[in-house]
C-alpha cells in the first residue's frame, strides 16, 4: 500500500451498511489537500474497541495520521485538513465534537458550508469523545489503543482518554469543525458505558502490539543431561511430561475465543524431536493464522524424526552444538536455509538464589512472551523453571478464554523470578563477577 497522509478507520456492522455508504458519500464531497484512505472494519462480537484497534494496526505502517470515526457520522468540510496539520504539528490526540441531526437529506448532497450552517443551532454533545480520535502511529502505539476489555458500545472512548492522560499524550479538542451524528434507532447491542468505564482502569497493556512470542514447552523427555540445561528443574519436577493432542486443541480453542495473535511460536523441550505430536502442533500453528513464524530448538540427535511435512512449516530450526557428538550436521545439511547452530557449552548455568539489587530486570531473553506447558500459560518462558520446579504455579494461569488478561497489570520486569534469572543481564553480570 502506498504511503498516505491520513487513514480513516470506520468500524461497521452488517446492518449499518447504508450508514457506511452515506459516510463514504459525504467523503466524496470533502475538498481536501490531504490524501486519505478509508479502512472499513467489520465489528465482531460486539467489540467496537477491538474493531478500531484492528483498523489502526493495519494502517500503522502506511499512514502519517490515523483517525477513528463511526459509520453514523458525516465529516464536515475542513476537518481532515485541520486535523492533519494539528496532529503533525502537536503530536497530540485530536478529537472532534459532534452534534445530533435528525436526517441526512441525500447521500450525495453537496457538503457546502451553508449546509453545515443550517445545523449550527443543534446543541453540541457534551460527551461522545469516540466520534473522531486522530493521532500519529507513534502516539497510537504509545497509547496502547482502545481497551478491548470494553464491549458493547459506550465508555471505550472515555477509557482511551483516561489512558492518554496516564501516558502523557496531550489531547486537543476541536470545536469548530463539528461532526454531524445522524440519529438512528437503538443498536441491537447493549450500551455498556458505565460497566466499561468501571472495569477498565488503565493498564500497561498495549492492544496494538502483537502479544510477543508463545513458547510451547512440549516435553521434558530428552536423551541428554547437559549441565547447562535451561529446563533442568522442570525436567526433574515432571520427568515424563509429553503434551497431548487434547492440550494442543484446548490451546487453539482458547486462543481463537480470545482472538489473540503472537509474533511467533517457539517450540522447546526437552527434545521436541522425541515428541510424537510435533507435526500435529506445527500444522495447528500454521492453520490457525495467529503466528507470524515458527521456531524450534533441538539437539539434533533425532533429526530422522523430523518429517518433511513438519519441516515445511518451521521457519527456523535452532540446533544446539554440544561437547559430545550430535547429529546436528544432518539437520544443517538438510535445511541449510533454516538451520542455525548455537553453542550450548557457552550457556550459563542457572543459579539457585535470588540476587538482590537486580530489579527491574534488563531482560535479554530473545523469546520474550509467554509459555504454554501442562495446560497452563506462564507469563514468561523461564517461569516454569523458576516456579514449577520450586513446587509452585507462580505467574501462571489455567487455560481459559482471555488467559492473558491476568498478566495485563503485571510489571513483567519486576518479578522476583527475574532476580535469579540468567536472562537478566544484571544477574549474569553479578554471576560472572562471582565466578571470576
Ligand atoms: S539437549 Fe537440550 S533439553 Fe536436553 S538436556 Fe541438553 S540442554 Fe536440556
Ligand atoms: S529476566 Fe524476567 S522476564 Fe526476562 S526471561 Fe528472566 S524471568 Fe523472564
Give pLDDT tens digits for 224-238: 988 878 888 888 888
Q: Does residue 118 lie in a domain region? A: yes
Protein residue whose Cα sits closest to atom 2 of ligand 2: 418
Convert the chain into a string of H (helix), E (strand) and C (coil).
CCCEEEEEEEEECHHHHHHHHHHHHHHHCCCCCCCEEEEEEECCCCEHHHHHHHHHHHHCCCEEEEEEECCCEECCCCHHHHHHHHHHHHCCEEEEEEEEECCCCCCCCCCCHHHHHCCCCCCECCCCCCCEEEECHHHHHHHCCCCCCCCEECCHHHHHHHHHHHCCCCEEEEEEEEEEEECCCCCCCCECHHHHHHHCCCCCCCCCCCCCEEEEEEECCCCCCCCCCCCHHHHHHCCCCECCHHHHHHHHHHHHHHCCCEEEEEEEECCHHHCCCHHHHHHHHHHHCCEEEEEEEECCCCHHHCCHHHHHHCCEEEEEECCCCCCHHHHHHHCCCCEEEEEHHHCCCCCCCCCCCCCCCCECCCCCEEEEECCEEECCCCHHHHHHHHCCCCCEEECCCCCCHHHCCCCHHHCHHHHHCCCEHHHHHHHHHHHC
Q: Does residue 208 lie in a domain region? A: no
Cell of 11: 468500524
Ligand 1 pocket check for 225: Cβ under 6 Å:
yes
Query: How many CA atoms lie less than 13 Å away from 303 in the CB half-sphere?
Result: 18
Same domain, yes or no, for 79 and 184? yes
Same domain, yes or no, for 357 and 388? yes
From the CA of 272, the nearest ligand is 1
Q: Does residue 205 lie in a domain region? A: no
Same domain, yes or no, for 136 and 237? no
Protein residue whose Cα sits closest to atom 6 of ligand 1: 226
Query: How many CA atoms lie less than 13 Å away from 288 in the CB half-sphere?
Result: 28
Same domain, yes or no, for 350 and 256? yes
Same domain, yes or no, for 184 and 230? no
Q: Does residue 114 lie in a domain region? A: yes
Atom of ligand 2 nearest to the CA of 427: 1
Q: How far is the CA of 8 from the centre of ligand 1 (A)?
A: 50
Q: Does residue 207 lie in a domain region? A: no
Same domain, yes or no, for 294 and 149? no
Ligand 1 pocket check for 218: Cβ under 6 Å:
no
From 174, 199, 224, the end of a domain falls on 199
Domain range enclosing 351: 213-435
Protein residue whose Cα sits closest to atom 4 of ligand 2: 363
Same domain, yes or no, for 168 and 226? no
For residue 117, the domain's CATH number is 3.90.550.10
Atom of ligand 2 nearest to the CA of 417: 7
Which of 361, 412, 422 to mutate to test ligand 2, by most ligand atoms within 8 A of the CB atom?
361
Nearest CA to 135 among 187, 94, 163?
94
Q: Does residue 206 lie in a domain region? A: no
From the CA of 324, the nearest ligand is 1
From 140, 164, 199, the end of a domain falls on 199
Ligand 1 pocket check for 10: Cβ under 6 Å:
no
Q: How far is the CA of 249 from the centre of ligand 1 (A)?
A: 26
Q: Rounded CA gap, 16 and 20, in Å?
A: 6
Same domain, yes or no, for 425 and 335? yes
| Bridge-based pairing state of the strands 316-321 and 36-42 | unpaired
From 157, 176, 199, the end of a domain falls on 199
Which of 212, 234, 363 to mutate to test ligand 2, by most ligand atoms within 8 A of the CB atom?
363
Which of 420, 421, 426, 430 to mutate to test ligand 2, by most ligand atoms within 8 A of the CB atom?
421
Q: Does residue 204 lie in a domain region? A: no
Ligand 1 pocket check for 278: Cβ under 6 Å:
no
Structurally, how many domains does the chain consist of? 2
For residue 343, the domain's CATH number is 3.20.20.70
Same domain, yes or no, for 331 and 389? yes
Protein residue whose Cα sits closest to atom 5 of ligand 1: 225
Cα distances from 121 to residues 24, 117, 216, in angstroms, run: 25, 8, 61
What percent of the chain stands above pLDDT 90? Answer: 39
Same domain, yes or no, for 195 and 226? no
Same domain, yes or no, for 35 and 153? yes
Ligand 1 pocket check for 219: Cβ under 6 Å:
no
Q: Does residue 336 lie in a domain region? A: yes
Q: In DSSP terms, which residues pair with 420 in a beta bridge?
A: none
**Residues 295/267, Cβ–Cβ less than 8 Å:** yes
Cell of 333: 545439511
Pocket of ligand 2 (CB under 6 A): 361, 363, 365, 380, 382, 412-413, 415, 417-418, 421, 423-424
From the CA of 328, the nearest ligand is 1
Per-residue pLDDT of the chain (436 residues; tens, 9 = 90+): 567 899 999 998 877 778 888 888 778 777 788 999 999 998 877 888 989 998 999 899 899 999 999 988 888 888 999 999 999 999 999 999 988 887 655 544 555 555 667 777 788 887 778 789 999 999 999 999 998 878 887 888 999 999 999 999 999 999 888 888 887 777 777 788 888 888 666 666 678 876 789 999 999 999 998 887 888 888 888 899 999 999 999 999 999 888 788 888 999 999 999 999 999 999 999 998 888 889 999 999 999 999 999 999 999 999 987 766 667 778 888 988 888 888 766 666 566 677 888 888 887 775 578 999 999 999 888 876 766 545 555 678 999 988 987 787 677 778 888 888 877 888 877 776 655 4
Same domain, yes or no, for 219 and 326? yes
Amino acid at each position: 500500500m502506498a504511503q498516505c497522509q491520513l487513514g480513516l478507520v470506520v468500524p461497521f456492522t452488517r446492518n449499518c451498511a447504508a450508514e457506511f455508504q452515506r459516510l463514504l458519500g459525504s467523503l466524496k464531497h470533502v475538498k481536501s489537500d490531504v490524501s486519505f484512505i478509508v479502512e472499513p472494519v467489520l465489528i465482531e462480537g460486539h467489540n467496537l474497541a477491538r474493531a478500531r484497534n484492528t483498523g489502526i494496526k493495519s494502517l500503522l505502517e502506511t499512514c502519517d495520521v490515523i483517525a477513528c470515526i463511526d459509520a453514523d457520522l458525516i465529516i464536515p468540510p475542513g476537518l481532515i485538513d485541520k486535523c492533519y496539520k494539528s496532529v503533525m504539528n502537536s503530536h497530540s490526540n485530536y478529537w472532534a465534537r459532534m452534534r445530533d441531526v435528525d436526517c441526512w437529506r441525500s447521500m450525495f448532497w453537496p457538503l457546502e458550508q451553508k449546509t453545515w450552517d443550517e445545523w449550527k443551532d443543534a446543541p453540541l454533545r457534551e460527551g461522545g469523545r469516540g466520534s473522531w480520535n486522530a493521532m500519529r502511529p507513534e502516539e497510537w502505539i504509545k497509547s496502547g489503543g482502545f481497551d478491548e476489555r470494553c464491549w458493547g458500545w459506550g465508555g471505550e472512548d472515555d477509557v482511551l482518554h483516561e489512558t492518554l492522560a496516564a501516558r502523557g499524550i496531550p489531547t486537543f479538542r476541536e470545536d469548530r469543525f463539528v461532526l454531524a451524528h445522524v440519529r438512528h434507532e437503538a443498536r441491537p447491542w447493549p450500551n455498556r458505558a458505565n460497566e466499561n468505564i468501571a472495569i477498565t482502569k488503565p493498564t500497561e497493556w498495549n492492544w496494538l502490539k502483537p502479544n510477543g512470542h508463545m513458547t510451547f514447552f512440549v516435553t521434558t523427555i530428552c536423551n541428554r543431561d547437559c549441565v547447562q540445561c535451561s529446563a533442568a528443574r522442570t525436567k526433574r519436577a515432571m520427568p515424563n511430561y509429553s503434551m497431548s493432542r487434547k492440550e494442543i486443541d484446548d490451546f487453539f480453542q482458547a486462543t481463537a475465543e480470545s482472538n489473540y495473535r503472537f509474533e511467533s511460536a517457539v517450540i522447546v523441550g526437552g527434545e521436541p524431536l522425541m515428541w510424537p505430536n510435533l507435526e500435529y502442533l506445527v500444522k495447528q500453528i500454521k492453520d490457525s493464522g495467529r503466528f507470524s513464524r515458527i521456531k524450534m530448538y533441538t539437539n539434533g540427535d533425532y533429526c530422522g524424526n523430523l518429517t518433511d511435512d513438519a519441516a515445511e512449516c518451521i521457519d527456523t530450526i535452532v540446533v544446539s552444538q554440544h561437547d559430545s557428538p550430535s547429529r546436528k550436521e544432518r539437520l544443517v545439511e538438510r535445511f541449510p536455509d533454516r538451520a542455525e547452530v548455537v553453542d550450548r557449552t557457552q550457556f550459563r548455568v542457572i543459579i539457585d538464589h535470588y540476587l538482590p539489587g537486580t530489579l527491574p530486570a534488563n531482560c535479554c531473553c530473545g523469546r520474550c512472551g509467554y509459555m504454554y506447558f501442562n495446560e497452563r500459560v506462564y507469563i514468561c518462558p523461564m517461569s516454569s523453571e523458576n516456579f514449577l520446579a520450586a513446587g509452585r504455579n507462580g505467574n501462571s494461569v489455567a487455560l481459559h478464554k482471555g488467559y492473558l488478561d491476568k498478566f495485563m497489570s503485571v510489571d513483567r520486569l519486576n518479578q522476583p523470578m527475574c532476580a535469579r534469572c540468567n536472562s537478566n543481564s544484571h544477574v549474569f553480570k553479578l554471576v560472572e563477577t562471582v565466578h571470576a
